[in-house]
């Protein structure tokens, strides 16, 4: 689906270190602001052990996981919406993403300079959020001025709907609230999407913590503050130690699990982060399974069968006849497709079927 999550934050909070760990790339990580000048882009697989479990029964020639794209965007500073630092360029990069991973520094380290002189996660979050709101306000203000006069005298229903939406969003932004806080009806949704606002994007706050906190049971007051803020906004948060995750990503594959276990963990924290980002975008996975390949496909929750088929190829959606399907858990329990059929769990579904996370699909179509 070409989905992107933008990694943002103040300079020196660990964004590029996290990106490097995510993608095993080599984005420059340095102890000074704006070391990331061009957005670094990396495509990563979404961890899902169901793929290999399905393959154990189907025995395909290859496995194809689903993926997400992560974009490492240069550190923002106060005044970014007015062009401070490298602001305008990177605000534009954020507009091109589907979700925001907001990295927040939740650790003290005298060797790593903080752009504001001290560690204060809520202040730092406020700085970034204010810049995003101000950038959106500038865009919405321009749009409002462009259509206001015509909308007031026009009988065009669409223009009036857009004008009403823009006024509501402008009022919220002017009050320091993100655009996602505005109650939007179905008629207004298309006009909201056309605005490409930064503050409509879902946010996952990533608390970058020290190793001692990451591998222990105690939770710092800073992490708790971010969790409470995220909950109040209807967003999510997760704690990660970028330094540890970067170290894990550099180890040979055969040494990673032993190192992870030595830290008291069952998997890299990045697996959790990727899954949380995936859920943040309201995404689910369905599978296709055959001798050639077992493959994971990404769709939005609530997608119906024809549209899910269209993710594979537009012809599948255009000529959709039916979907033959069972759930992967049925395969894990009953061990084979023939056993699934005997148990009456193999189904034929029509155009109104809403695909579930974990469905194994075979689409019948004719064009």
Per-residue pLDDT of the chain (367 residues; tens, 9 = 90+): 557 898 888 888 888 888 888 887 444 444 444 344 455 788 888 899 999 999 999 999 999 999 888 888 766 555 544 554 444 555 777 888 899 999 999 988 877 766 767 889 999 999 889 888 988 999 999 999 999 999 988 889 999 999 999 999 999 999 999 999 999 999 999 999 999 999 999 999 999 998 888 876 677 899 999 999 999 988 999 999 998 999 998 898 889 889 999 988 888 988 899 889 888 889 999 999 999 999 999 999 999 999 999 999 999 999 999 999 999 999 999 999 999 999 999 999 999 999 999 999 999 999 8
HEC string of the chain equals: CCCEEEEECCCCCCHHHHHHHHHCCCCCCCCCCCCCCCCEEEEEECCCCHHHHHHHHHCCCEEECCEEEEEECCCCCCCHHHCCCCHHHHHHHHHCCCEEEEEEECCCCCCCCCCCCCCCHHHHHHHHHHHHHHHHHHHHHHHHHHHHHHHHHCCCHHHHHHHHHHHHHHHHHHCCCCHHHCCCCCCCHHHHHHHCCHHHCCEEEEEECCHHHHCCCCCCHHHHHHHHHHHHHCCEEEEECHHHHHHHHHCCHHHHHHHHHHCCCCCCHHHHHHHHHHHHCCEEEEEEECCCEEEEEEEECCCEHHHHHHHHCHHHHHCEEEEEEEEHHHHHHHCCHHHHHHCCCCEEECCCCECCCCEEEEEEECC
Rounded to two decimals, the pTM is 0.84
Residue 69: Cβ within 10 Å count: 17
> Rounded distance, CA 138 to CA 134, Å?
6
Enumerate the β-bridge partners of residue 313: none
> Rounded distance, CA 93 to CA 95, Å?
5
* Phi, psi dihedrals of residue 270, rounded to the nearest 5°: -65, -30
Residue 254: Cβ within 10 Å count: 7
> Rounded distance, CA 80 to CA 85, Å?
6
Nearest to 70 by CA among 3, 2, 5: 5
* Phi, psi dihedrals of residue 214, rounded to the nearest 5°: -65, -40
Q: What digits encode the pLDDT tens for the residues 109-143?
A: 877 766 767 889 999 999 889 888 988 999 999 99
């Amino acid at each position: 689906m070409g989905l992107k999550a933008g990694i943002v934050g103040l300079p020196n909070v660990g964004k590029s270190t996290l990106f490097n760990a995510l993608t095993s790339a080599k984005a420059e990580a340095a102890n000074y602001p704006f070391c990331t000048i061009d957005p670094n882009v990396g495509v990563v697989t979404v961890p899902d052990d169901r793929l290999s479990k399905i393959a154990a029964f189907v025995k395909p020639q290859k496995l194809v996981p689903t993926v997400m794209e992560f974009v490492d965007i240069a550190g923002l500073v106060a005044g970014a919406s007015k062009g401070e630092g490298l602001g305008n360029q990177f605000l534009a990069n954020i507009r091109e993403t589907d979700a925001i991973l907001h990295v927040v520094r939740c650790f003290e380290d005298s060797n790593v300079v903080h752009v504001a002189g001290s560690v204060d996660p809520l202040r730092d979050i406020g700085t970034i959020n204010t810049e995003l709101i101000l950038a959106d306000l500038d865009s919405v203000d321009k749009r409002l001025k462009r259509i206001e006069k015509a909308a007031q005298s026009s009988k065009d229903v669409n223009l009036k709907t857009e004008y009403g939406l823009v006024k509501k969003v402008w009022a919220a932004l002017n009050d320091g609230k993100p655009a996602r806080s505005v109650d939007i009806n179905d008629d207004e949704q298309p006009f909201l999407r056309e605005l490409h606002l930064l503050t409509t994007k879902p946010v996952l706050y990533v608390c970058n913590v020290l190793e001692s906190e990451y591998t222990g049971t105690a939770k710092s007051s800073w992490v708790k503050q971010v969790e409470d803020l995220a909950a109040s906004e209807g967003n999510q948060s997760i704690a990660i130690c970028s330094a540890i995750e970067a170290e894990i990503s550099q180890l040979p594959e055969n040494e990673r699990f032993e190192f992870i276990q030595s830290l008291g963990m069952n998997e890299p924290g990045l697996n959790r982060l990727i899954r949380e980002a995936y859920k943040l975008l309201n995404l689910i996975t369905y599978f296709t399974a055959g001798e050639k390949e077992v493959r994971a496909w990404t769709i939005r929750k609530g997608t119906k069968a024809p549209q899910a088929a269209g993710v594979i190829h537009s012809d599948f959606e255009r000529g959709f006849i039916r979907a033959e399907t069972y759930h992967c858990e049925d395969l894990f329990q009953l061990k084979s497709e023939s056993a699934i059929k005997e148990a009456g769990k193999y189904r034929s579904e029509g155009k109104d079927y809403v695909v579930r996370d974990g469905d194994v699909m075979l689409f019948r179509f004719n064009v």
